Structure 1
Amino acid sequence: MSRRRCCGRIDETIVCQTFIPQGYSRWPEVLIQLEELEAVRLKDKLGLDQGECAASMGVSRATFQRILGAARVKIATALLEGRPIIIQGGNYTVKNRVFECLNCHHVWEEKPCSAGGKHGYELVCPKCGDMKKMRLDKGVNRPCDSHLLKEGRSDCRKEST
């Protein structure tokens, strides 16, 4: 039995999770997991090299390559056969958001909106209470469920597809 793969980190969940081709002919859907879409985004859209992509997702280069390969096969199948794409599920964790207060320059992290965190426009600086802030990056790496078991908490989302 193989060991459970560490979950991949993604920047944020997506809004549109279904793509249906024009002239849809009732082929079965192609299911793409969220970490597979993240791999495609990092490699094909942003043009990062494999090492940078793997580091961003918190997985090994070999695991990243397997995730990317699976995603590309699914996308090619959907495009060539005119099948709908459903993006859902997987084994992933969403990165925290990092803000800097423009008033006092305090830097802090917030959980993703989908994980119960507040939206950016609702946030105030925890140090001075000012609402003027700037998002510093698209997320901070944090450990997945496999690494948090010792602490008795889980930030991962595990969904079956």
Structure 2
Amino acid sequence: MPRRRRLRKIVAPPGFKGYKPYGHRPNNRSVELLYEEYEAIKLADYDLMNQLEASKLMGISRATFARIYETARRKIAEALVETKEIRAVYGHAHMDESWYVCNRCNARFNLPDCSTSDCCPMCQSKNIETIITNKEE
């Protein structure tokens, strides 16, 4: 029986739902980039962390981080070369705080900023939904 998978810690969800190739006919082909893969790319390539630092931040081993990072790079390369859409999807991850998305302006935020009830801090719409809640298995 395989070991139980540990949840990967994500600081913030991606600020996008997806990317589409520009100047190419739309098709139904897409690549699903998991939140933990996005986080690995962000930490290693954008924040310029080494794999050991990034793996500690995500709460996983360095080898697991390397596998996630490699998978993310391959998916992004596939999307670029084969002109596929990249869709950000929830994977096997958890966050320290709950995050929300506004269905009106697509803003993503972690602290609703209305005095009476939850609403979008950008457009004040009450049409928001939870992206991720704190969850442990």
Q: Same fold (TM over 0.5)?
A: yes
Task: Give distance in 1, aligned partners of 2:15 and 2:48.
Answer: 22
Residue 119 (structure 1) aligned with residue 111 (structure 2):
yes
Task: Give distance in 1, aligned partners of 2:16 and 2:89.
Answer: 10
| Contact 2:36–2:92 (8 Å) recurs in 1 | yes
Q: Which residue of 2 aligns with 1:52?
A: 53
Report the aligned-residue RMSD.
2.4
Secondary structure at 1:21 match in 2: coil
State which drifts further: 17-26 or 60-69: 17-26
1:72, distance to aligned residue in structure 2 (A) = 0.5
Runs of 4 or more consecutive aligned structure 1 residues displaced over 6 Å after TM superposition: none
1:64, distance to aligned residue in structure 2 (A) = 0.5
% identical equivalent positions = 31
Secondary structure at 1:78 match in 2: helix
Q: Which residue of 2 aligns with 1:20?
A: 20
Give matches, 1:121-140, under 5 Å: 121=113
Structure 2 residue runs without a partner (length 5+): 101-108, 116-133
* Change over 3 Å in CA distance of 1:52–1:27 after alignment to 2: same
Tell me how many residue pairs correspond in the alignment: 110
1:2, distance to aligned residue in structure 2 (A) = 2.0
Task: Give distance in 2, aligned partners of 1:118 and 1:78.
Answer: 29
1:113, distance to aligned residue in structure 2 (A) = 3.4
Q: Which residue of 2 aligns with 1:65?
A: 66
Structure 1 residue runs without a partner (length 5+): 96-110, 124-153
The letter for the 1-side match of 2:5 is R
Residue 11 (structure 1) aligned with residue 11 (structure 2):
yes
1:83-132, Cα deviation, whole Å (9 max, x unpaired): 0001102100112xxxxxxxxxxxxxxx3334xx9727469xxxxxxxxx
1:25, distance to aligned residue in structure 2 (A) = 4.7
The letter for the 2-side match of 1:2 is P
